[in-house]
Amino acid sequence: MIIAASGLNRVTSLLAFLLPLKVILLVASDGVSRWFEPFVGPEGKDSLVIALTVAAIVSFFLSIALDALTDRLSASASHTLLQGSNELAVVGNQGTTAQNIYSQFSDTAAGTLFVLAGLSVIAWVNPLLLGALLGLSAAEFLFTALVIARTNPINPGPIARLLTQDLRDYLNIFSSINFLAAFGILLYPFVWGGGGQVLAALVSIVVLRRILGVSAEVIQNAVKMVQRRAVIDALVFREEPYRGKERDVMRILREIFQKQARESRARQSLRSAGIPFEEVEATWQDSRLSGMNRLAIRVRTGNGMTRFFQQQIYMPKHDLRLENEAVLFEYMSREQLRAPGQLLRFNEGVFQCQICESGVEEAVGENAWREVRNGLLERLMCVQPPRSLVEAFTMSRPLLHDRLSGDLIDRLEIGVDTADERSTIDELRARLALLRERIRAIPLYVRNPEIQYSNVVLDEDGEPIVMTWGKWTLEPLGAALPSGIKRGGLEKFVRSISRTRSDVPVDFAVEHMELAGTAYECERLIHDNLLKGALDCAARLLANPLLATADTQHGGLIQ
């Protein structure tokens, strides 16, 4: 039923487009074409115009009704399907997933029937055109099969990458080629031949355009269903459990970075960078950073020394972190931020990689981690970001005082249950402009959320190195600090910052850092929908001395 409704919907949609064109041609002509003369006679032009106009209108409304009917039938059928499947949900949002899969299957079946019907129409009005289309389709199929057969999955060429990563554009290229070739065949009789049938050419071009688009949709839906076969089997067959399939990108990662292959590539990379070596060992390191994997490269040189490097392997869609890191170090030196020296940056298949120096590859001891972390944070906050970096950052991302908007505060409304909470949010709205002014006046520092125990190593002098910087941001001093830093620690930070930074005025105090830290925490809690915690933060913000007075000169730092 749903396949019939979907197929009929495509037909009525085509008629709703084609029939008005025929009416225009008929009105502009002197008589009735030989196609319709057997039905209405040579003098039946007016009645034919009326009949075709009514048919066009009916087709239009039928198309709308059938579209809605198809959605309802798909929802009903998917519900029936789920009732007979596994009792436990096998995927998230299972109802919507089942409806989408059922719609894809129905659209694929209906689309296939529509394409066959459209080709039959073309065969009737222009057999030569049908032969050309079938020949082109066969050639394109053979070309695609050849590309797939000769593709190296580890390092695919541009055509194979387009086929696997952007199938829609790949199919659109072939559709455009087929349409232009068909247009030339239809045009030939009118320009160089003895003339042609206008209506036949018009019908051919409209039907061809539709079936080319539907063909591309059918192929895309079929590929998607094959890729989701594990989910479809679990939803359709009750006895079939869901078995998650390894993602293609993870399979390629395994193939590229197996032990022998990664050590061979490490030797090539070191040789290209001019690093002498006698022995190279590349070992896998577990990474707690999302979207990035690591290799520890140990190099023994001819003089008996050992050097350590780290290869960072960024997954597709995470390679922008390398771009962000590159931008940061266009404006600041790596030594300023305790970042590792970069040896090489390159592509390995679909992965962006870089090799960095990693000191003596000695991790920070667990007992010493808190002290080392606080020392790193202190050092970073003592470094003033150049104005050019601030301008580059703010062109694409807002600073904290800009993110603290009225819309953000409005999201607290759903968490208000008591009179005290209502008072807090009302007072926060009243003092929002003052809060933003105070935050804006606090100097900025380069914040790195990846300062983590597993991402910090020691150099030859025992100084810490933060290995990755792809998620850096600019925040006001005191914002985004880890929990557990007491007031005494903040006072130590304030003394060091005031002593080393020229942009920090003499009245900079712990209250400024607490204000920035609490505002940042409030924003984070709102985004996480932890609204009670955010309301507590708002109360602490209002209790800060910098907001407790309306005197805009108090604590009015100038950045």
314 has pLDDT over 80: yes
| 490 plus 425 within the same structural domain | yes
Closest Cα to residue 405, out of 424, 429, 427?
Answer: 429
Is residue 548 very low, low, confident or very high in pLDDT (cuts 50, 70, 90)?
A: confident
Tokens of residue 207, six digits: 């039907």
Q: Are residues 426 and 404 in the same domain?
A: yes
Average pLDDT, integer, range 211-224? 88
pLDDT at 495: 97
Distance, CA of 197 to chain centre:
49
Q: What are 334-379's pLDDT values in tens digits?
A: 999 999 999 999 999 889 999 999 988 677 888 899 999 999 999 9
Q: pLDDT tens-digit profile of 403-454?
A: 999 999 999 999 999 999 999 999 999 999 999 999 999 999 999 999 999 9
Q: What pLDDT, in 10s, does the model give residues 17-66?
A: 666 766 666 665 666 555 555 555 556 666 666 776 777 777 777 777 76
Residue 555 lies in a domain: no
Higher pLDDT, 148 or 21: 148
Is residue 242 domain-resident? no
Task: Answer yes or no: is 362 within a domain.
Answer: no
Domain containing 346 equals 248-357
Distance CA 405, CA 510 (A): 24
Q: Indicate if 67 and 205 belong to the same structural domain.
A: yes
Domain boundary among 339, 357, 375: 357
Tell me the mean pLDDT in the region 328-336: 97
* Mean per-residue pLDDT, 291-307: 91
Do 10 and 156 have their domain in common? yes
Q: Residue 191's pLDDT is what?
A: 74
Q: What is the DSSP string of 167-220?
A: HHHHHHHHHHHHHHHHHHHHHHHHHTSS---HHHHHHHHHHHHHHHHHHHHHHH
Residue 540 has pLDDT above 60, yes or no: yes
390 and 339: one domain? no
What pLDDT does residue 546 have?
A: 94
Q: Which of 165-174, 296-305, 512-521 has the highest mean pLDDT?
A: 512-521
Neighbours of 148 (CB within 10 A): 11
Which of 323, 357, 391 is the C-terminal boundary of a domain?
Answer: 357
pLDDT band at 80 (very low <50, low <70, confident <90, very high): low
- Backbone CA torsion sign across 140, 141, 145, 148: positive
From the list 468, 547, 559, 467, the residue with the least C-alpha distance to 515 is 547
Do 424 and 487 fall within a single domain? yes
Instruction: For residue 413, tell me if it sits in a domain.
Output: yes
Q: For residues 282 and 378, give the distance between their C-alpha atoms in angstroms, rounded to a whole number.
A: 34
Q: State the pLDDT confidence band at 122, using cuts at 50, 70 and 90.
A: confident
Percent of the chain, pLDDT > 70? 80
Residues 183 and 275 in one domain: no
Q: Residue 392: which pLDDT band, with cuts at 50, 70 and 90?
A: very high
Instruction: List the single range of 27-31, 457-461, 540-544 with lowest mean pLDDT.
Output: 27-31
* pLDDT of amino acid 184: 86
Do 499 and 387 lie in one domain? The reply is yes
Structural domain includes residue 472 = yes
Residue that terminates a domain, selected from 324, 357, 390 = 357
Residues 171 and 301 in one domain: no
Shared domain check, 309 and 179: no
pLDDT value at residue 9 = 64
Looking at the structure, tell me whether residues 292 and 350 fall in a common domain. yes
Helix (H, G, I), strand (E, B) or coil at 396: coil
Q: Does residue 559 belong to any structural domain of this protein?
A: no
| Domain-embedded: residue 241 | no
Categorize the per-residue pLDDT at 554 as very low, low, confident or very high, splitting at 50, 70 and 90: very low
Residue with tokens 């050992």: 306
Mean pLDDT over residues 193-209, rounded?
Answer: 74
Does the residue 349 lie in any domain? yes
Q: How far is CA 131 from the centre of its chain?
A: 42
Q: What is the CATH number of the domain that holds 300?
A: 3.30.200.20
**What pLDDT is stored for residue 556 in this prediction?**
46
Residues 266, 230 within the same domain: no
Q: What pLDDT does 420 receive?
A: 96
For 383, what's the count of Cα atoms within 13 Å in the CB-facing half-sphere? 20
What pLDDT is stored for residue 520 in this prediction?
A: 98
Residues 491 and 352: their CA atoms lie apart, in Å, by 41
Q: Which of 82-96, 160-174, 294-308, 325-339 has the highest mean pLDDT?
A: 325-339
User: Which of residues 265 and 153 earns the better pLDDT score?
Assistant: 265
Question: Rounded CA gap, 347 and 352, in Å?
Answer: 5
Closest CA to 311 of 272, 357, 273: 357
Q: In the chain, how many domains are there?
A: 3
